[in-house]
Structure 1
Amino acid sequence: MEKIKGLIVAPFTAFGKDLEINLSPISDYAKMLKKNGLKGVFINGSSGEGYMLNVDERKKLAEEWMKFADEDFKVIVHVGSTTLKDAVELAKHAQEIKAFGTGAMAPPFPKIGRIQELFDYCKAIADAAPEIPFYYYHIPVFNGAYLPMLDFLKKVNGEIPNFAGIKYTYENLYEFNQCSLYENGKFQMLHGQDETLLAGLALSDVKGGISGTANYTGKGLIEVLNYWENKDLNQARAAQNYNQAVINVIVKYGGNIVGGKRIMKLMGLDLGKNRIPFKNLTDAEESQLKKDLEEIDFFNHCNEL
């Protein structure tokens, strides 16, 4: 099964003034990501407010993003839902439109508390699109599914033929590495915590990742990868530390989903506001966000439109 190389972006979903989905920015969005060296998108996930979209909206977004898919730019569709029937429908659709793969996080309700429960959920989704890879999205802070991922890999091994790996967004780099080593690296562990990318590279043979902050700091994260590959640890640290400096700013403004989306507007790609219940930034907060970013010279380091 093909393994992902480089960084895949978890894009935001654009909304119009009526908070209905807006497909028109996707063309420029895709061009910008490609220009800055990003290798694809993982759509309709947490950054994309996927759980706040209905099935029809999620399908339309997937179809639009697929217009810009190519050999070097993959589209993975997050299909997870609190309704398994919807997740299965979305997985079938992703295969029909020839997406590279599907992914799903554990639903936030009902809370999954056992490996068998998670296995049953993932198998039903993966089986609905058997011709394309399936990735489990491990983000327990979102859904409370604090389950041992090594045990999960042992459970899926040989039971879900198209299981490709895990998008791992959690702090436990020991577990991340143990999963990477399982069965001689049979399953790809996609690094999902941007602020520890360099640590992941040092500990494991990371080839790919799925990133939220790469929407606007993709160039810098790619520098982390390149400097590490070239054995320039000091420059790799500097690039990683800069990414952390950006994260230190966005955590003051609602984190990546809210603050990051507003950063895209400040860069020149207006993707609209967030859906309720997210608290959108006021104009005054946006102005202060811009000042905070200017203090770290962000606009000379961010992705180029």
Structure 2
Amino acid sequence: MGDFKLKGLVAAPFTPFHENGDLNLTPIEPYMNLLLADGVKSVFICGTTGEGPSMTLPERKSLAEKWVQVGKDKLDAVVVHVGCGNLRETIELAKHAKEIGASAIASIPSVFFKPKTIDLLVDYMREISLAAPDLPLYYYHIPGLTGTDFPMYDFMEVASTRVPNLAGFKFSHMNTEDIMLCLHQYGVKYQFLVGTDSLLLPSMTFGSEAFVGSTYNFCGKPCNRVIAAFKNKDLEGAQKDQFKFLAMVKIIVQYGLNVATQKAMMSLSRIDLGPTRAPIPNTSAEQKEALKKDLTEMGYFEWIN
């Protein structure tokens, strides 16, 4: 476990649903093959993009089993997000992830009764870690959705001594100072996954090596070009694709920065994964057509291939 490290782009896959809302596992294998063709070799399932909190425990288990099964000897890593609304179900999913051979687990804190102190948050994460002691565990820091917003530097100061299989955290936040401090102090032993897609190029300048995001589902090739250009000290080349990426993000925001908009983009350019679940609103046919027009005008379909 001590040698486990994620590298490069890690897609946060969308969860396929039938039109009636039922889980649809059929597209998972062709979906994975599309990611691999784009150079995306690891996945972080059942998180925000995967609508994990909108799924039942049996559904989350079935989905995790399918990704581990199809990814065997093909994907570098399958990280399973196990966070639920309560600790007991989170522990159940953590144990299940271990049983099926997942590479690592991650978890948000509880979101209704929120931990009021860092000590309480660390205690919560420790209980999860003890349920799957042989799996690397990432804390999933996404305060905009969980409402738990402690500095990660302060969290690491406590968690590094009390959570035995802590691997680091997934950082879905814009506070780059916080993650930079963590990298400086704890970056040798721990890994801090950048979960804000628009920070891909900036975060590499301060040492980040792994990036978890929803957009890597459909723009893995240009984002891999950003990484390759940066490593080759071609800053101008990296900036070119990064600025194009930001133009794409501007369009996504225009149509609602949510899972439904990006699922629509997947169906336009990669694979149809069905609707989202309430309360996320689905993209209408008219919105989808307008989205296609705007993406075409920015050169999106040529850029991602």
- Which bin holds the TM-score, normalised by the shorter protein? over 0.9
- Say which of 127, 132, 151 aligns to 1:129: 132
Pick from 236, 260, 269: which aligns with 1:258? 260
1:43-192 to structure 2, matched below 5 A, reads 43-69=45-71, 70=73, 72-183=75-186, 185-192=188-195
| 1:300 corresponding residue in structure 2 | 302
Runs of 4+ in structure 1 deviating by more than 2 angstroms, as ranges, are: 68-73
Greater displacement, 219-228 / 62-71: 62-71
Q: Does the CA contact (< 8 Å) of 1:10 and 1:45 recur in 2?
A: yes
Letter in 2 for 1:141: G
Summarize deviations over 1:116-144 as a string: whole Å, max 9, x none: 12111111111111111000111111111
Structure 2: distance between partners of 1:131 and 1:60: 21
Q: Is the 8 A contact 1:112 1:144 kept in 2?
A: no
- The superposition leaves residues 54-75 of structure 1 with CA deviations (integer Å, 9 ceiling, x where unpaired) of 1000000000001122364310
Task: Note if contact 1:212-1:256 (Cα within 8 Å) is conserved in structure 2.
Answer: no
Task: Extract unaligned runs of 5+ from structure 1.
Answer: none
- Cα deviation digits, residues 169-196 of structure 1 (max 9, x gap): 1001111110111245321011111111
Please say which of residues 181-190 and 143-152 is displaced more in the overlay: 181-190
Q: Matches of 1:160 and 1:146 in 2, distance apart?
A: 19
User: Which ranges in structure 2 are unaligned for 5 or more consecutive residues?
Assistant: none
Please give the secondary structure, in 1, of the residue aligned with 2:102: coil
CA distance 1:268–1:227, change in 2 (3 Å): closer
- Does the Cα contact within 8 Å between 1:191 and 1:200 map onto a contact in 2? yes
For the 8 Å contact 1:14–1:25, the answer to whether it is kept is yes
Of 93-102 and 182-191, the range deviating more from structure 2: 182-191
Q: Which amino acid aligns with 1:262?
A: A
Q: Per-residue deviation at 1:258?
A: 1.4
Q: CA deviation at 1:268?
A: 4.2
Aligned partner of 2:293 in structure 1 is 291
When normalised by structure 2's length, the TM-score is 0.96
Q: Write the letter of the residue equivalent to 1:40.
A: S
Q: What amino acid is aligned across from residue 52 of structure 2 in structure 1?
A: G
- Give me the whole-angstrom Cα distance separating, in 2, the residues matched to 1:72 and 1:86: 27
Could you say which residue in structure 2 is the equivalent of 1:231?
233
Q: Please, what is the CA RMSD of the aligned residues? A: 1.2
Opposite residue 224 of structure 2, the aligned amino acid is I
Provide the C-alpha distance between the structure 2 equivalents of 1:12 and 1:276, rounded to a whole number of angstroms. 15
- Give the deviation of 1:42 after TM superposition: 0.4
Q: Which moved more, 1:280-289 or 1:68-77?
A: 68-77
Deviates more, 1:84-93 or 1:103-112: 103-112
Correspondence 1:208 to 2:210: yes
Q: Which amino acid aligns with 2:201?
A: L
**Out of 31, 34, 41, which is 1:32 matched to?**
34
* Mapped partners of 1:76, 1:36: distance in 2: 19
Judge which range, 251-260 or 49-58, deviates more: 251-260
- 1:17 Cα shift? 1.1
Aligned equivalent of 2:19? 17
SS of the residue aligned with 1:156? Answer: helix
Look up the equivalent residue of 1:101 and give its one-letter code.
A
TM-score, normalization: structure 1?
0.96
1:151 CA displacement:
1.0
Residues 290 and 27 of structure 1: CA distance in aligned 2, closer, same or farther (over 3 Å)? same
Query: What SS does structure 2 have at the residue aligned with 1:186?
Result: coil
Aligned equivalents of 1:73 and 1:31: distance in 2? 13
CA contact (8 A) 1:113 1:146 kept: no
